[in-house]
């Protein structure tokens, strides 16, 4: 079966659902392409008569997207399918969607990804997808002209039902008894509720969803904005009834169920997590329980937002594929899960959303063709950074080849439309300048932070050119590589002229200014130590608290480490008071918050207009936890895990750490433990793999043991130990 839709579909053959995928065919730039799923349905067919049908939902095509009105792409769902049956004699029989099909409404009264779903079980069509069903009253379908878009095979893993969490009894006594109950899932997820009830015919209830409770123990829903996030069910009566919505999802930890009367009994209630079906590849733990919970929060934040596209949040009326969030988190994502297909598909969305000028949109898929040209620094750069990171983790150059033209058009757009004298976001040509260091704490009421936007823009411009030069070299485009390298050098010189004083100080003099200049290697050697020292001083003056936003936070600990301030990095990591990574953890968070101050004891909830409690961007610290605290890194010059760097850097109160990573070449693992003045190490290298051990300062390597296969350990550039086993 080949099947797709503009909207959502769920197919049935002979009473059986086809496949396990949810929200098919997925979300794309419907004006340009739609995905097609292919299923082997042989086992569902039988000799003699067969019946085939589909249930359609509104989805992203004609339901609400973000806070915009419905029907952004089209007025109603459209279905297209073809069933090919190969007979024993080799002939092929095709059944296609055409004017012979009929349609009817059913028990789903409304469905919307943001608002919710309503279901009246009294209207169920018994056995509608079984042979012999009499479709009395059904109407002939309306055939639509084929849109001029690309039909493409699905590139990404499908969304599927994942963890199912059994929910225990309600919180408190409820009020009044039997009419309303609030339940705690125990984990903030993206998904929906599956509920089994027993009630009279016509009895009904609705389920509201929220991430937090307010000070009175009620659902905190102000931050949902216009999202109703409510599902409704009407009982058919008699036997137990189990219902799980088909065409909606919500971001929630708490659910409130309001009944029409006390005669509806809940038999069982579960929360079902939904996200793209990416294999888990990484794990991490250490001796600090709060850091372990932070890592779990990072992982759950990713699961809740890697649903078809890398959304910013799953709860309010937004849920868009923001480019800035994705690019800061992509390296952490590549450790946690196999995201090759996920990002391969999403980079198609990014390319489809690219403007004719070469500008890259803030979100992909693009929800409104009329929106502004440029996403700005740190956001539009995802067009280059994300493919590079996927190549670095998996070693497959096809993603670079597929996106090279998009990258080139983007760089040319920056040169022609956003730069003056090699300064990107120069106020004279780009008065807006981008989103800035989004939600930084140093900007007062300004959500864009205090870091100069032209500094951010020029720093990212130089980084883009560095990556593009490397990418061109990998693809054998030598002239391009030389060109982009020379261009980067000009941008770096312009950066130094505009943003670095003769004394080596940086304009802005805040945490993010120093972090970007150091991380992107934009400073002369004489100024690097000065900038690192100023960064450390800034952090110390803030009593080891962060002031960075979306763009400065991902790199701050690595920059401190590389500059010899590992102790400061660990103090930031283990800081438990606001603002810090562990402050939400100490206050019960199970995912990453959008803002450092999403909630504080003295002020309560932040402004409801933008206050998500499942927003993965600040979870980008996960890459440093793996690379430094545990000590596993991939060599960017030998991508795909062909060369592993073991570089544990103990610090703070952490005395033990371990991590495991299933790379494309096999399992890599490290476990270390401090014992007095010793560091006991256990390392795992894939067969036919190569690794370099870089011990922390003050330690030297002792005896190393190896398992089967060919392994090589290199210390300080020399082969330290080697074993070859040709037995298998």
Which sequence positions are flagged as catalytic? 318, 594
| Residue pointed to by tokens 């210390």 | 715
| Cα-based distances in Å from 625 to 152, 286, 555 | 38, 10, 12
Burial class (CB in 10 A: 0-12, 13-18, 19+), 640: middle
Dihedral pair phi/psi, residue 386, rounded to 5°: -65, -50
Beta-strand relationship, 689-693 and 643-646? parallel
Closest Cα to residue 68, out of 356, 347, 365, 378? 365
| Residue pointed to by tokens 């040209």 | 373
Do the Cβ atoms of 553 and 266 come closer than 8 Å? Answer: no
Dihedral pair phi/psi, residue 423, rounded to 5°: -95, 115
Q: For the CA atoms of 18, 22, 23, 29, what is the dihedral angle to 10 degrees? A: -100
Find the DSSP H helices in 432-477: 453-474
3-state secondary structure 325-372: HHHHHHHHHHHHECCHHHHHHHHHHHHHHCCCCCCCCCECCCCCCCCC
| Cα-based distances in Å from 71 to 7, 76, 112, 541 | 10, 7, 11, 52
Do the Cβ atoms of 53 and 138 come closer than 8 Å? Answer: no
Question: By three-state DSSP, how is residue 481 classified?
Answer: helix
Q: Which residues pair with 35 in a beta bridge?
A: 152
Dihedral pair phi/psi, residue 469, rounded to 5°: -65, -45
Question: By three-state DSSP, how is residue 573 classified?
Answer: helix
Burial class (CB in 10 A: 0-12, 13-18, 19+), 674: middle
Distance between CA 206 and CA 602 in Å, rounded? 34
Distance between CA 70 and CA 142 in Å, rounded? 21
Closest Cα to residue 53, out of 119, 117, 109, 133? 133
Question: By three-state DSSP, how is residue 521 classified?
Answer: coil
Distance between CA 397 and CA 474 in Å, rounded? 8
Distance between CA 532 and CA 514 in Å, rounded? 7
| Cα-based distances in Å from 54 to 61, 101, 118 | 17, 11, 18
Dihedral pair phi/psi, residue 119, rounded to 5°: -140, 125
Find the DSSP H helices in 53-201: 59-62
End-to-end CA distance of the chain: 42
Distance between CA 3 and CA 81 in Å, rounded? 4
Find the DSSP H helices in 51-174: 59-62
Q: What is the CA radius of gyration of the chain?
A: 27
Distance between CA 459 and CA 702 in Å, rounded? 42
Do the Cβ atoms of 43 and 114 come closer than 8 Å? Answer: no
Which residues, at least 6 apart from 509, have a Cβ–Cβ distance to it below 8 Å? 534, 538
Distance between CA 159 and CA 306 in Å, rounded? 9
């Amino acid at each position: 079966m080949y099947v797709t839709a503009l909207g959502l579909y769920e197919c049935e053959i002979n009473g059986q659902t086809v496949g396990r995928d949810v929200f098919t065919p997925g979300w794309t730039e419907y004006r340009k392409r739609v995905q097609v799923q292919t299923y082997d349905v042989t086992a569902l067919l039988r000799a003699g008569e067969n019946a085939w049908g589909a249930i359609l939902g509104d989805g992203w095509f004609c339901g609400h997207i973000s806070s915009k009105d419905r029907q952004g792409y089209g007025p109603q769902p459209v279905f297209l399918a073809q069933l090919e049956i190969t007979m024993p004699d080799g002939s092929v029989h095709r059944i296609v969607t055409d004017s012979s099909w009929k349609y009817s409404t059913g028990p789903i009264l409304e469905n919307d990804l943001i608002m919710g779903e309503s279901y009246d079980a009294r209207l169920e069509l018994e056995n509608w997808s079984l042979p012999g069903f009499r479709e009395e009253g059904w109407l002939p379908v309306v055939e639509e002209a084929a849109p001029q878009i690309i039909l493409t095979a699905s590139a990404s893993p499908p969304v599927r039902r994942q963890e199912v969490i059994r929910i225990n009894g309600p919180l408190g006594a409820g009020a009044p008894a039997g009419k309303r109950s609030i339940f705690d899932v125990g984990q903030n997820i993206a998904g929906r509720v599956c509920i089994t009830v027993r009630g009279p015919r016509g009895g009904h209830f609705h389920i509201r969803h929220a991430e937090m409770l307010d000070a009175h123990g009620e659902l905190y829903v102000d931050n949902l904005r216009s999202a109703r996030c409510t599902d409704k069910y009407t009982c058919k009566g008699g036997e137990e009834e189990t219902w799980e919505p088909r065409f909606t999802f919500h971001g929630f930890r708490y659910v409130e169920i309001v009944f029409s009367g006390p005669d509806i009994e809940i038999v069982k209630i579960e929360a079902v997590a939904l996200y793209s079906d990416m294999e888990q590849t990484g794990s991490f733990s250490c001796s600090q329980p709060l850091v372990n919970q932070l890592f779990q929060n990072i992982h759950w934040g990713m699961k809740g937002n890697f649903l078809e596209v890398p959304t910013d949040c799953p709860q309010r009326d937004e849920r868009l594929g923001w480019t800035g969030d994705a690019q800061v988190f992509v390296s952490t994502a590549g450790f946690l899960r196999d995201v090759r297909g996920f990002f391969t598909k999403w980079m198609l969305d990014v390319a489809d959303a690219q403007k004719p000028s070469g500008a890259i949109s803030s979100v992909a898929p693009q929800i409104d063709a009329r929106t502004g040209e440029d996403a700005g620094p740190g956001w539009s750069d995802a067009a280059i950074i994300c493919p590079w990171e996927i190549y670095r983790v998996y070693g497959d150059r096809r993603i670079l080849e597929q996106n090279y033209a998009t990258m080139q058009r983007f760089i040319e757009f920056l040169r022609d439309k956003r730069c003056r004298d090699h300064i990107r976001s120069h106020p004279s040509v780009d008065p807006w300048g981008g989103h800035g260091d989004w939600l930084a704490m140093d900007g007062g009421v300004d959500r864009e932070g205090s870091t100069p936007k032209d500094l951010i823009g020029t720093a990212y411009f130089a980084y883009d050119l560095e990556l593009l030069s490397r990418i061109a070299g990998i693809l054998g485009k030598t002239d391009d590589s030389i060109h982009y390298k020379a261009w980067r050098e000009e941008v770096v010189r312009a950066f130094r002229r505009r943003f670095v004083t003769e004394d080596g100080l940086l304009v802005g003099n805040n945490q993010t200014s120093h972090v970007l200049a150091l991380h992107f290697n934009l400073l002369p050697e004489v100024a690097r130590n000065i900038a690192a020292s100023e960064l450390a001083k800034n952090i110390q003056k803030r009593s080891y608290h962060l002031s960075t936003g979306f763009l400065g936070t991902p790199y701050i600990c690595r920059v401190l480490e590389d500059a010899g301030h590992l102790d400061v990095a660990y103090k930031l990591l283990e800081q438990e008071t606001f603002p810090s990574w562990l402050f939400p953890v100490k206050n019960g968070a199970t995912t990453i918050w959008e803002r450092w101050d999403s909630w504080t004891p003295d002020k309560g909830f932040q402004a409801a207009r933008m206050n998500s409690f499942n927003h993965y961007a600040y979870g980008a610290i996960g890459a440093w936890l793996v690379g430094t605290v545990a000590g596993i890194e991939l060599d960017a010059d030998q991508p795909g895990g062909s060369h592993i760097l073991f570089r544990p850097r103990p610090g703070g109160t952490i005395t033990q750490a371990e991590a495991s990573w299933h790379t494309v070449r096999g399992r890599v693992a490290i476990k270390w433990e401090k014992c007095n003045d010793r560091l006991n190490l256990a390392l795992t290298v894939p067969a036919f793999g190569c690794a370099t051990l870089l011990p922390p300062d003050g330690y030297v390597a002792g005896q190393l043991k190896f398992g089967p296969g060919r392994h090589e350990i290199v210390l300080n550039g020399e082969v330290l130990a080697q074993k070859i086993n040709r037995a298998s």
